[in-house]
């Protein structure tokens, strides 16, 4: 048994249960410009803190292994997979979630472009796609097709076939794509 684990026996089932013994850590996160002082276990993932502790449920958890991109958030302006990012690694850093895109109840231009292009179907991948596209557009105001594909490559979508998502990024960056849903 490692020093990070203890064994406790459940009285009713007589089944061994492994519980983490690691010490909780006090961290400070700035999420969407709001400061949060939180105590977390060392192995708690960022997505758990965002959704369960802070209560922002726009970020979606799907694979829990960093393969789908649904949980993408911006950490210090860089897209990261919050399902495989430890919350303690984010101490003192700025985190942006999909809730940060709209201002005063009005969707951002990128969110509007997703609607205009029909880039939202089941919607599960949408928050991660939006955050990856936001990071891309903050680096490249008029990204090339290759840059868009590279910027979104870690995000999986089973519904749209990606063309509508790429068109939404092209539309919002003023590259001649007109809305198809209006």
Task: Decide if pLDDT at 144 tops 80.
Answer: yes
Q: How many CB atoms lie within 10 A of CB 18?
A: 12
pLDDT tens-digit profile of 15-37? 443 344 568 999 999 999 999 99
pLDDT at position 12: 38
* Multiple choice CATH, 109-172, 3.40.710.10, 3.50.50.60, 1.10.240.10, 1.10.150.120: 1.10.150.120
pLDDT at position 75: 98
Write out the two tokens for 114: 């997703």
Class of domain 25-100: alpha beta
Residue closest to 50 by CA, chosen among 36, 68, 69:
36
pTM for the full predicted model: 0.86
């Amino acid at each position: 048994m490692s020093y990070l684990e203890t064994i406790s026996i459940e009285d009713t089932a007589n089944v061994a249960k492994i519980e983490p013994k690691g010490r909780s850590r006090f961290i400070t996160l700035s999420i969407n410009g709001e400061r949060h002082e939180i105590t977390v276990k060392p192995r708690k993932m960022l997505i758990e803190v965002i959704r369960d502790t802070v209560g922002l449920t726009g970020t979606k958890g799907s694979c829990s292994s960093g393969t789908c991109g649904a949980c993408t958030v911006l950490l210090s302006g860089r897209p990261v997979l919050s399902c495989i990012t430890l919350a303690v690694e984010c101490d003192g850093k700025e985190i942006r979630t999909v809730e940060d895109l709209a201002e005063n109840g009005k969707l951002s231009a990128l969110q509007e472009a997703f609607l205009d292009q029909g880039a939202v179907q089941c919607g599960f991948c949408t928050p991660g796609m939006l955050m990856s596209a936001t990071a891309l557009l903050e680096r490249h105001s008029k990204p090339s097709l290759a840059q868009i594909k590279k910027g979104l490559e870690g995000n999986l979508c089973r519904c749209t076939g990606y063309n509508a998502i790429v068109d939404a990024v092209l539309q919002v960056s003023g590259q001649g794509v007109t809305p198809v849903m209006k």
